[in-house]
Structure 1
Amino acid sequence: MSSPSTPARGRPSRIDRALTVRTALDLLDRSGLDALTMRRLADAMGVQAGALYRYYATKQELLTAMSEQMMEGVTASAVGTDDASWSERLATLAHALRKALLARRDGARVFAGTHSTGVGVLGFAEALVGILREAGFSDDDAALSLYTVANFTVGHTLEEQAATDPENGGTTGVEKLRNAVTSGSDYPHLNRALSALTSPDFDRNFAFGLDLLVEGLKARL
């Protein structure tokens, strides 16, 4: 008798790598990363859990493939911006990365630490490093700037998605911060800046941080 992981001769397999990743991303959107297990993924695909290991030996390998899928089309966002300044092109890539991570529930958590070497991730890295090298940055500065921009973008999106996750109560973290700062007189500076500290305008926050990075790069150049 054939199993889902070993189809009968002449009969196509019920699953493949692409379908597994698509189903995993759908399950991620519905239930979040904590609920994404190989067993639940197998149930969603109507196969035995062992069938998935034919394509992804570990969950980490699956997460890496999911990260690569999320990066599809990110680099293409910079196409057609050759007439723009290097700083504008860099910002376009950073915004495209954030948008791709936000497009999936817990997208930043999935992406963080996977270190994919697929065409999506490496294409993004190649484009950003290329922009900076062509602008006159040294090889080392261009490479380190890639890490700085990517880490800022992923870190910001991690916090953004955590703050808006319905399982975290949406604004629970913001309310806890507000209550802690206003509960006494020990934080006069934080009280004066509380409006900005508790602002839900993540677009503005991201743009501000990215602008600081770009201005720092301009000064270094």
Structure 2
Amino acid sequence: MSSPSTPARGRPPRLDRARTVQTALDLLDRSGLDALTMRRLAEAMGVQAGALYRHFATKQDLLTAMAERMMDGVTEAAAQTRGGDWTERLAALAHALRAALLARRDGARVFAGTHATGASVLGFADAVMGVLREAGFPAEDAARALYTLTNFTVGHTLEEQAALPWGDADPAGPAALADAVADGTYPHLEAGLPALTSADFTRLFEFGVGLLLEGLRARR
């Protein structure tokens, strides 16, 4: 005889939010965001598509829950630099966010546009604002800096993931850019080609975060 928490033999496991989100993330890694549909998710879980709507009214609700799950542990990972100054702590939080988004295929696309209010997302946001307020920034400036740092990180990672092997970006993009500026019409772009076509996204990210932190330091 099966217990209430154990499905009877031959029946699919009980549907719950946690398992649904995990299965959706697994499908995301295998096939990407464009292929993640409620129908395919239901098939992977062995249930009717309508059953999913008991937990998620829309696909956007599902994406929001996925974004929240992706942020699990981000604040804790960044806390390793707790003893550093405020700029080092902010940089660590930005790097931890990028790493969380890169850990999932199309992670930045999933995260962009969601408005999760779970403990992981709010904990990250509160940590960023806490660092800034402790550094002397008023709450309004800290909030705006939170948006700026988060938007840069998500936007950068969107472009980074588009250039990954599983992305939709044209792999000939760097060569196409080089050909487009080779006739001398755009001399400044031609001069910057080594940086513009570099695949060193970590260096590019660090440069951008550094600019943001220098601006915040000057404002402070």
Same fold (TM over 0.5): yes
Aligned to 1:109: 109
> What amino acid maps onto 1:176 in structure 2?
A
Supply the distance in 1 between the matched residues of 2:199 and 2:12 (Cα, whole angstroms).
49
Aligned to 2:3: none
Aligned to 2:206: 207
Supply the distance in 1 between the matched residues of 2:90 and 2:170 (Cα, whole angstroms).
31
Aligned to 2:69: 69
- 1:169 Cα offset (Å): 5.7
Contact 1:29 1:104 in 2 (8 A): yes
Across the aligned residues of Structure 1 and Structure 2, the Cα RMSD in angstroms comes to 1.8
Supply the distance in 1 between the matched residues of 2:41 and 2:177 (Cα, whole angstroms).
36
Give me the identity figure in percent.
Answer: 68
- 1:79 Cα offset (Å): 2.5
Q: What whole-Å deviation, never above 9, does each CA across 1:145-171 have from its counterpart, x for those lacking one?
A: 000000000000000001114352663
Contact 2:161 2:167 in 1 (8 A): no
- In structure 1, stretches of 5+ residues that fail to align are 1-6
Farther off after superposition, 173-182 or 80-89? 173-182
Contact 2:181 2:190 in 1 (8 A): yes
1:218 aligns to 2:217 (yes or no): yes
> What amino acid maps onto 2:140 in structure 1?
D
Contact 2:68 2:118 in 1 (8 A): yes
1:192 aligns to 2:194 (yes or no): no
Aligned to 1:17: 17
Contact 1:164 1:170 in 2 (8 A): no
Aligned to 1:125: 125
Supply the distance in 2 between the matched residues of 1:81 and 1:199 (Cα, whole angstroms).
29
Supply the distance in 2 between the matched residues of 1:54 and 1:43 (Cα, whole angstroms).
16
- 1:180 Cα offset (Å): 1.8
TM-score, L = length of structure 2? 0.91
Name the SS for the 1:168 alignment partner.
Answer: coil
Supply the distance in 1 between the matched residues of 2:46 and 2:116 (Cα, whole angstroms).
28
Q: What whole-Å deviation, never above 9, does each CA across 1:170-194 have from its counterpart, x for those lacking one?
A: 6333333222222x22111111110
